[in-house]
Amino acid sequence: MKALTFSTFGNSDVLEYIQIPNPELKNDEILIEMKAIGLNFADVYRRKGNYHLKGNPPFIAGYEGAGIVVDANNHPEYKVGDRVAFADAPFANAELVAVNINHVIPLSENISFEIAASVLLQGLTAHYLATDSHKTTKGETVLIHAVAGGVGQILTQISKLLGATVIGLTSSSEKAQIGFEQGADHVFLYNEDWKSQVFNIIPKGVDVVYDSIGSTLQESFEVTKECGQVVFFGMAGGDPEPVDPRMLMDGSKTLTGGDLWSYLNSKEERIKRAAQLFNWIIDGKIKLSEPTSFKLSEGKLAHDFLESRKSTGKIILIP
C-alpha cells in the first residue's frame, strides 16, 4: 500500500509518499480501506517530533478518517463493504489502516466519508466541552476563544442549540464573519479591548469560557462571573501562567481541564457520542463548512496549507 510517511522530524519537506507493507491484523482489529482522512495540527506536531507518536520509522501520522471494511478478520459485527469511521486510531495517513474494533464507529449512508473525516475529532471535542466539561443550559452566556477554528465553529453551533448566548473571540474581521455565520451573537477581535466589550454585554461576566489558546487563561478568568468556570483544552498560543488557587477561592471560580481521550474511553461511548453528532448534522442542526481536499500524495501541500493558517474549514486527505 501507499502511505504518507516521515523518517526524520522537521518541516513538511520530510514527508514522503511511499510504498510500504500492508498492516498485519491483530486479533482485535479489522482492516479499513480509507476513503477520506482528517488532517489536524496534532499531525504537524507529530511530524515536528513534539507530540506523541506510535510506531517506528517510517512514521505514519493521522488519527481520524473514514472508509470501508475490506477484512472483517472474523468479527461477526462487521462485514466486507461496511461503511465505518474512527476518531482515535493511529497510522491513518495510508491507503489501508488496521483499526481496533473498539475504536470503529459505524457510518450510515446519510453521512459521507468526507463529512465523517471532517467532523469526528473536532465535533466530538465540541460535544464533550458543551455537555461534559460544562453542561450548557438555556440562558447561559459562553465565551469561545478561536471561534472561527474547527472546534470553535462546531462548539458555537452546539452552544446555540443548547440555548446559550455565544460571544466569540478571533484574530481578524474575516474570521469574525465566520463566527457570525456559525450563529455567534457577538464576536470580538483579540487586538481590541475585548474584555471591556464582554463586560459591556454582560457586566457580571460570562458563565463559562472555553480557552484553547492557553496564554489567555488569566484573561479568561477575568471575564468569568463569580461561580463561573473556565474550561482549558488547548495551548495554541503557548503555555498559560500558573493559576493562583486563592483567585479561584475568592471568586468561587472553577478551572476544568479538557481532553477528548478522557471521554472516548469505550466502544459504547464512541458510538453514542458520534451518533448524537451525526444526528445533529443529518437534522440540519449543525452545518459544516466544505472541507478543503488534497490527495494523500499531496500531503506536503496539505501540511503547508494548514500551517499557513489560511484555512478556516477542515482539511482532508483523499487516498
pLDDT tens digits for 271-301?
999 999 999 999 999 999 889 999 999 999 9
Phi/psi of residue 73, nearest 5 degrees: 55, 40
pLDDT at 218: 96
The pLDDT of 192-215, averaged and rounded, is: 97
The pLDDT of 68-83, averaged and rounded, is: 96
Return the ∠ at Cα 188 (arms to 185 and 191), rounded to 5°: 175
Distance CA 194, CA 201 (A): 11
Question: Is the per-residue pLDDT at 237 higher than 90?
Answer: no
Only one residue has cell 453528532, namely 277
pLDDT at 235: 86
Question: Is the per-residue pLDDT at 312 higher than 80?
Answer: no
The pLDDT of 207-228, averaged and rounded, is: 97
The total number of residues shown for the chain amounts to 319
Percent of the chain scoring above 90 in pLDDT: 89
- 0.75 surpassed by pTM: yes
Only one residue has cell 471560580, namely 253
